[in-house]
Amino acid sequence: MVRKNDSTFTLAPYNESNFNSITNRPNQGMVISAVFTLLSKWASAGDRSIMVSIVFSGKALGGVIASYTSGLICSSYKIGGWPMSFYIYSMFGAVLAIPWITFVSESPAEQDEFTCISNTPNKNKSRAIPLYDIFTSKPGWAIAVAKFSTTFANNFFLIEVPTFLSNMFGVNVNKIGLLTSLPSFIAAVTGLLSAAVADYIIQQKYLSILKTRHLFVVLGVVLSVVGFIPLVVNDCNVLAVEILSIVFFAVYGFNSASVFPNAMDIADEYAGFVAGATHTFASCTGIIIPIVTELVIKEQNSLERWMVLFFLTGGVNLLGMVYFIMFSEAEQQVWSEQKNNKDERSGLIIK
């Protein structure tokens, strides 16, 4: 965004691909833990998927709005150019925090909905966080690995696909509204629909919670990997990349019914911490992907090298799915249910 010219610094022209590679990096990590802590108290076992989907659909829809407004703000030098986008979005964050603080309650016990959520446990007593048990938990690592693999693919499309289109086809990414906006909107819609279906399956007891999580993670990963076929079987073109992006983000919404709610399935008491820790692990992909891309295409920026990256992304997705199926669970872990009689003054304990 800033170019150095001798001893002076000047503003570089706005480029949406560069802007998105910065603004779409994982951020506001504390929100993840806070949201899952609240959801663990508000959502019953049969409503977790749809609750998670409703909450995080705002992230996808926010991306749709930002992809359009960012271009308008950054190209309008009368109001200050691209720096104003950061100021404006930060201001909206502060404004939206006001209704959050005003209306959000910590638990259903503070609202009339308390009688409607029958399985909400009494969580008035504070407990120390069993760090050793969490970080050595196979189901916990299953969530972390699955989040890592799906986030790897998600960030690859957000960060590198615009560069791919620009380098290989000379496409002006600023004008591809379909590629930058429609996939995020579709992800929000499919997330809501798949979550509603998953909760219906669980409530009607057609499948267990664990098998439902497995079903949707398989559907999401397999369909996204199948979406890579047009790129490697046929001649790669802009339309194929657009279709692939739409397909991938559509099935990415299936995570709302599979990986994302699983933190509450295994650790209702510590869902916020587990979700935050696994999200942190997955966020590392924002650092890894540019490095891997640079290593692969450094010597030869060709279509064949980019295909290697697409294959790698699909492979990471498949490995994450297999690991999740092998080690995930959907029952409360012993370390989440048991009373902790240790010293709780610090709120953390390693045992």
CB 2 within 8 A of CB 9: yes
- Give the type of residue at 77: Y
Domain boundaries, the chain: 14-107+130-338
Give how far the C-alpha of residue 216 lies from the chain's centroid of Cα atoms, to the nearest Å: 16
Residue 137: HSE in the Cβ half-sphere, 13 Å Cα cutoff: 27
pLDDT in tens, 163-201: 777 777 776 655 555 566 677 778 888 888 998 999 999
Helix %, strand %, coil % of the chain (to 5): 70, 5, 25
Task: Classify 315 as helix, strand or coil.
Answer: helix
Tell me the C-alpha distance between 154 and 316, whole Å: 11
Higher pLDDT, 41 or 257: 257
pLDDT band at 229 (very low <50, low <70, confident <90, very high): low
Q: What is the pTM of this model?
A: 0.75
Nearest-CA neighbor of 176 among 131, 134, 238, 234? 238
Q: Is the pLDDT of residue 245 over 60?
A: yes
Instruction: Judge residue 273's burial from the number of C-beta atoms within 10 Å of its C-beta, 0-12 exposed, 13-18 middle, 19 or more buried.
Output: buried
The Cβ of residue 277 has, within 10 Å, a number of other Cβ atoms equal to: 20
DSSP-assigned states of every residue in 47-103: THHHHHHHHHHHHHHHHHHHHHHHHHHHH-GGGTSTHHHHHHHHHHHHHHHHHHHHH
Of 22 and 85, the one with more pLDDT: 85
Q: Which fold has domain 14-107+130-338?
A: Growth Hormone; Chain: A; (1.20.1250)
